[in-house]
Structure 1
Amino acid sequence: MRFVKWLLGIVLLLVVVVVVGGYVFLKTFDLNKYKSYAEKIVYEQTGRKLAVKGDASLGVSLIPTLIINDVSLSNPSWAKNPQMAEIGSLELKFSLLPLLKKQVVVDKAVISDAKIFLETAKDGKNNWTFAPVKTAEPAKTAFSSGGWLIASAHAEETSGGTPAFLNTLTDVVAREVAVKKSEVQYLASGAEPVKLEINSLTFSTEGINAPMNIGWDLVFDGMNIAGKGDTGSLAGLFDAGKAWPANVEVTALNVKASVQAELYDVMNKLRAEFKMNVYNPAGNFNAPETTLIASGKADLKSVSLNISSLNVVNNVITGTAGADISGKVPYVRADLKSDKIDLRSFNPQSPTAFNLPPLIASANASELVPNDKIPYELLKTVNGDFKVGVAKLIVNDSLSVDDVRLTASLKNGVLNVNPLELRFGQGTADIVAAVNAGTRSLILKADTKDMVLQSLHKEFQVTNSTDFGIVSGGESLLSADLSGSGDTWRALVNSLSGRLVVIVDKSTLQTGRLSWLTNSFVSQLMNVLKIDTSKTEKVDLKCAVVRADVSNGNVSFPKGIAVDSDKLTLVSGGTVNLQNDKLKLSLNAYRNGIDDVGIMQALSNLIEISGTLQNPKIALDKGGALRTIAGVAAGPAYAGAGLLLDRDSAPCYTALKGTAYQDRFPKPSGVSGAAQDAYQGAAGVADKGAAVTKDAAKALENGAKKLIKNLLK
């Protein structure tokens, strides 16, 4: 017990001695001499004037604190702002025990309400490069002030090869520095100022030659950036020949990153080598879950990346990327590869996927093409060259694409994709596109060859005896040549001009269940045409064509939709107005081998499709019906001949006439061609006689009433 009492007594005595010693120090310390000393060494080592304008006060407690207000450091004469730094408040907290030896040791410095102004001039000089007024004398580790010694916590450290002004810093450096409620503003010559807000910034170290621990909470351009880490020493910042290590963890906008870097020549021509790991959770920025593992090099003008793994929802991408930011417009390059990209993993129902943008999510309730502005200006913010290669691109459960190769360049607001190559359906596709921000225009050219439909999409494959599909053949092609201009997506579509051609060659089809078209407009049309998809039979397809001519947003099908088979011949023509989405198509369908050419059979072949693209309607083609009724009134022979000849013995040739593919299929010739020409004249006569045959049409109306009602439903 006696020992414990003695121990407590000694501890209490030490506390009293420390407090009394601190009190004596605070009462006798000469603040004015300290201020003049600080101003002197700062001017000698930096060539800048340090001004302590505010009052300095001392606090008496277990942790003696010196508070200095309104401190500023001047800028060079060429700078726009007269001050490089303005500090609202500076608190210096001193270590107590050294006070017993009349030594001042700064444990912690707290800077509040500071403003730092960084600036670069036209000639490249900056205001953070200091020029000493005279060659510094060998620094001392202490300074006498009224019998008191001002020293650092580690004044015993030798200067070695440390720069002269760092030797001076050993006299004033603190173990811990905290910056609060401050900001840094950077002004590059000819540019708008950039501001960084500092909520908190902390440094702690055991000395200027010891590693530092740092932490920060910053706001840049409205974005919060927080982090922590370990770095090299304060002295190491000024050693251009040695690596300055920095291992940090950063969080910004819910993105987390860890970086291990080695920095060189930090205070002059900064360059770095680094490794990084970046993670973005699903849904952040409306983006999928993403992890980036990369290494690289960077300096003040450029950065290069070696991407070990860019994992986007288990779709792994590798390659290289880089940027040159030395010019007025940054230049970006990328060469990326992937063995597989599965677009199914981007499904919003997946826990690792992303939320669909509002436009896509509400597409069913919006216009077919939105009137949103096209962000052309983004194309002017960067130049670049890009290469992308994907071995397999899975679009959905039924469609995949192989060997995707993209080469693109972006320069002065013009994006050129030349080419985009891919392999699918046993064939290939070559696509060339250009977007010009200056003219607000788009050009798109696409050509495919050797495609096989049943290899392209699983819905064309026959898996059982009741499925619709292609048994053999299926060779097809697509050709598109389109251009347009406009400030919005809607305006661009409204101005489109060019041509689109789709061709399917000789094939054998199995009719049957069309599960992917159930309850759709196409299934309704098949019902009107009395095509029973529940029955399975083989159909020999000679050809099928879709040919669309586009001019200023108006799509014309000059008998451009044709299907020619042994059981059904279908020809359709008309227009689609992309400006208002209205469509008007006539459709003639003829069942081969049917001898009955009465009015019931004749009218069932004449269909008109109207309405809009979003809400198409099926009705009787009234013009064709009137002509047919007139033909029947003129006599059964004319009616039969009309139906026979209107079947166009070469509908695919007719559809492709005037295109580069018009000779792909034989044109009508001989008796068939002459008969069709004769029929065209006969049809004109029948049309002119339509007024005379109104009574006949009226007499036949009751007989066709039921069919017409069905067609008009």
Structure 2
Amino acid sequence: MKRLKWIAGSLVVLIVAVLVAGYVALASLDLESYRGELEQRAETALGRELKLTGAMSLSMGLSPGVQIDGVEIANTDWGSRPQMVTVERFEVEIGLLTLLTGELQIRRLVLIEPDILLEVGPDGQGNWAFGETGAQQDAASSQEATQVPDIASVRIEDGTVRYQEQRTGLQLTWNLATASLETAGDGLSVRAEGSYQSVPFQADGTLGALSTLMAGKGRYPFDLKVTTEDAEIALAGALDQSGQDVTSDAEVQARTNSLANLTALSGLPDLELPDIGPASLQSRVRKTDSGYRLSGLNVGLGESDLAGEATLDVSGDRMRVTADLTSSTLDLRPFTAGVESTGGGSNPDRVFPDTPLPFDLLRRADADLTLKVGVVKLSNDFDAQELRLSARARDGRLELAPLQAKLADGAADLSATLDARASPPELSLDLDIAKLDYGRVLRDLKISDGVDGKVDVRADLTGRGETPHAIAGSLNGGLEIVGDKGRFDNALLDTTGAGLRDLLAVWREQDQDMNLNCAVARFGAEDGVLNSRALLADTQSVSFGGTGDIDLGEERIDLRVTPKAKQTSLMSLAVPVRVSGPLLDPSVGPDPLGAAKATAFVVGAAVNPLAALGALVVSSEFQDENPCVAALAKARQGGTGEAEEGNGGVGGFLENMGESLDDALGGGANGDTDSGSDGNRFLNRQNDR
């Protein structure tokens, strides 16, 4: 960097020497005789070939000048083009009268169509890094003796600056239609017009004197404002040139009416930012030896806010981001709106989107993040509160350990790993939600205010894939939902689909709500198919046992539910029901197998739901436990095969249903639980609560 400044100064000094000599002996001056010397001195200092390819001409007057048509500086051998810098025309004028006082002043410096390429190679090296030969070191050591001229005016016309990274594909382009720097006090005023990534911009502000910048010493101040049609950026600070590397310290303010406006400015070909706004940023940004440090960071994005500290380390092979952030409100609705509106990304008939996840970010960068959020807006009417997140990404592997939040008066705890190194990427998650108020969820979503109840949710799952749909279709592990007492308003039940409404109608008291005593749904997941291990629910009029599966890959459901009436007069209505079809639009109706086969489908279930129904009614040992959980444990102790006749099976259940439910739900001592299979550990955890 400093050698480049010295080269520019040396070229100007040599040209000035030519001008002085030419002014004294104009008739005998041959500019071509100086071409080789200029090229050689530049190449010696730079370590790259410099060519003056065009004509050289001299103009005389009180401000003598030289014009050179064609200047080229060679690129590295791995560069994407032969030249790093080309200039179509180079013009310089000096103040002749100032030479009488021993001062060197450049009155005007003009660059016509400069084209500068800055690129990072496959090994992370920059083409602006020049080697240090012995001759170059000697030339660089003479910098202190080189007089840095005072430049009063600089004009650039039709200039282009390109920055690109061969490894990442990042490409940034600045086109300068016009740019001018004019002396203003101790510094320079700046004005520029052009485009960045094809987006027109204007810039104005002040800089320190160019002589200070080219001298490569001390503090170089800047105060700039850049505006586009949709954005504005202000930078005020200084470059610090006192060390080996140039650093900076600046206050940065930026705003735009939509984040989508920054998509083109990012230079990342696959990045598409959502249409969220307004967006603003304010921070102190310090360039360090290893990267950048952001302090006093304040970000606004739509209804979201973010504050804290962050660092960006670019000194290694992989970029690393470290951040400690807080937010009063984090609005995720704009990021999920597309999925919600289509129902599945590019396929509107899907529950799980098939849009690729941004795994490439994990492969390209490491991160350490802590985040605390007061309110997370998940949808228009549904929020989470008190979110706490700790995340760590290393070499393509992301760990969440943990993510905690309050959700509908419940407590959610999620630990997960996402490994983008695998092909396809692998996901592992452990989710625990305690006392989720599903009645509040329905009220918040403005679906119904006639539901009350809470559930516990437990999941331990692994999956693979590039998209949410692929991951869902490969899940393995276990899932359990356990519900305690609840209430469903009759008015709500009347609004359900015909099949479900007709199913429930015969089990409802005429003018009463449906009261739920308990419910358990436990599934084992295998290659994206949720196989029922236990399905059991109990109301004031009927108990339900069920079995079946949910195919997440095909997004289809096939469940059979057997009702058991608690009144003898209703037993003839206890016809098995089948719930089947697409997840988005399942049908509910009588089981085609008929009532005669009501018990056949339970063979092979991990827990016989009909035996569990019997245990639910004839036992009275579960006073302090969820009765459905205890009934499942009781059924497991009695065997898991086909329902048996007798006092503990379906026959006994039918005989004793009407008279023993009250005893089952309100009777004596606690029952035992089975700790046999790993699937049942979910139930054991529930009982331990």
> CA 1:166/1:252 → structure 2, altered by over 3 Å: closer, same or farther?
farther
SS of the aligned residue for 1:623 comes to coil
SS of the aligned residue for 2:316 comes to coil
Q: How far apart, in 2, do the equivalents of 1:564 and 1:238 lie?
A: 83
**Which residue does 2:327 correspond to in 1?**
338
Q: How far apart, in 1, do the equivalents of 2:180 and 2:131 lie?
A: 20
SS of the aligned residue for 1:367 comes to coil
Alignment of 1:642-657 (within 5 A): 648-650=614-616
> CA 1:224/1:610 → structure 2, altered by over 3 Å: closer, same or farther?
same
> CA 1:312/1:271 → structure 2, altered by over 3 Å: closer, same or farther?
same
Q: How far apart, in 2, do the equivalents of 1:258 and 1:651 lie?
A: 73
Counterpart of 1:555 (choices 514, 525, 530) is 530
> CA 1:358/1:249 → structure 2, altered by over 3 Å: closer, same or farther?
farther
> CA 1:540/1:610 → structure 2, altered by over 3 Å: closer, same or farther?
closer
State the shift of 1:445 in Å.
Answer: 0.8
**Which residue does 2:429 correspond to in 1?**
444
TM-score normalised to structure 2 length = 0.70
> CA 1:216/1:245 → structure 2, altered by over 3 Å: closer, same or farther?
farther
> CA 1:113/1:265 → structure 2, altered by over 3 Å: closer, same or farther?
closer
Counterpart of 1:177 (choices 155, 174, 180) is 155
Alignment of 1:657-696 (within 5 A): 662-663=629-630, 667=634, 675=646, 677=648, 679=650
Q: How far apart, in 1, do the equivalents of 2:192 and 2:124 lie?
A: 34
One-letter amino acid of the structure 2 residue matched with residue 227 of structure 1: A
SS of the aligned residue for 2:414 comes to strand
In the alignment, structure 1 residue 321 sits paired with structure 2 residue 296: no
> CA 1:335/1:568 → structure 2, altered by over 3 Å: closer, same or farther?
same
> CA 1:84/1:112 → structure 2, altered by over 3 Å: closer, same or farther?
same
**Which residue does 1:613 correspond to in 2?**
583
Contact 1:53–1:70 (8 Å) recurs in 2: yes
Q: How far apart, in 2, do the equivalents of 1:644 and 1:499 lie?
A: 22
Q: How far apart, in 1, do the equivalents of 2:375 and 2:618 lie?
A: 34
Q: How far apart, in 2, do the equivalents of 1:111 and 1:534 lie?
A: 89
Q: How many residue pairs get matched?
A: 587
**Which residue does 1:264 correspond to in 2?**
240
**Which residue does 2:401 correspond to in 1?**
418
In the alignment, structure 1 residue 126 sits paired with structure 2 residue 129: yes
**Which residue does 2:558 correspond to in 1?**
584
**Which residue does 1:68 correspond to in 2?**
68
> CA 1:55/1:505 → structure 2, altered by over 3 Å: closer, same or farther?
same
> CA 1:357/1:27 → structure 2, altered by over 3 Å: closer, same or farther?
farther
Contact 2:577–2:591 (8 Å) recurs in 1: yes
Q: How far apart, in 1, do the equivalents of 2:96 and 2:479 lie?
A: 86
Counterpart of 2:538 (choices 557, 560, 564) is 564
Per-residue CA deviations over 1:283-310 (Å, capped at 9, x if unaligned) read: 4332411111111311352111124421
Q: How far apart, in 2, do the equivalents of 1:82 and 1:39 lie?
A: 22
**Which residue does 2:370 correspond to in 1?**
387
Alignment of 1:244-643 (within 5 A): 244-251=220-227, 254-265=230-241, 268-282=244-258, 283-284=260-261, 285-289=273-277, 290-343=279-332, 365-396=348-379, 398-439=381-422, 440-454=425-439, 458=443, 468-470=450-452, 474-507=453-486, 509=487, 511-514=489-492, 521=497, 524-530=499-505, 536-558=511-533, 560-598=534-572, 601-602=573-574, 605-627=575-597
Contact 1:93–1:106 (8 Å) recurs in 2: yes
Q: How far apart, in 1, do the equivalents of 2:40 and 2:340 lie?
A: 56
Cα RMSD between the aligned structures? 5.1
Q: How far apart, in 2, do the equivalents of 1:42 and 1:206 lie?
A: 32
Runs of 5+ in structure 2 lacking a partner?
Answer: 1-21, 262-272, 601-608, 620-625, 655-689
State the shift of 1:478 in Å.
Answer: 0.7
One-letter amino acid of the structure 2 residue matched with residue 339 of structure 1: S
SS of the aligned residue for 1:622 comes to coil
Runs of 5+ in structure 1 lacking a partner?
Answer: 1-23, 137-161, 349-354, 631-642, 654-658, 684-713
TM-score normalised to structure 1 length = 0.68
> CA 1:336/1:45 → structure 2, altered by over 3 Å: closer, same or farther?
same
One-letter amino acid of the structure 1 residue matched with residue 594 of structure 2: G
Per-residue CA deviations over 1:629-675 (Å, capped at 9, x if unaligned) read: 99xxxxxxxxxxxx99995342999xxxxx9x9548773699x9973
Q: How far apart, in 2, do the equivalents of 1:531 and 1:249 lie?
A: 73
> CA 1:391/1:271 → structure 2, altered by over 3 Å: closer, same or farther?
same
Q: How far apart, in 2, do the equivalents of 1:435 and 1:331 lie?
A: 18
Per-residue CA deviations over 1:12-58 (Å, capped at 9, x if unaligned) read: xxxxxxxxxxxx99995776359739956993997358654422357
State the shift of 1:461 in Å.
Answer: 11
Query: Percent of aligned pairs with the same residue?
Result: 19
**Which residue does 1:698 correspond to in 2?**
none
SS of the aligned residue for 1:379 comes to helix
> CA 1:106/1:518 → structure 2, altered by over 3 Å: closer, same or farther?
farther
Q: How far apart, in 2, do the equivalents of 1:75 and 1:611 lie?
A: 64
> CA 1:485/1:345 → structure 2, altered by over 3 Å: closer, same or farther?
closer
One-letter amino acid of the structure 1 residue matched with residue 307 of structure 2: T
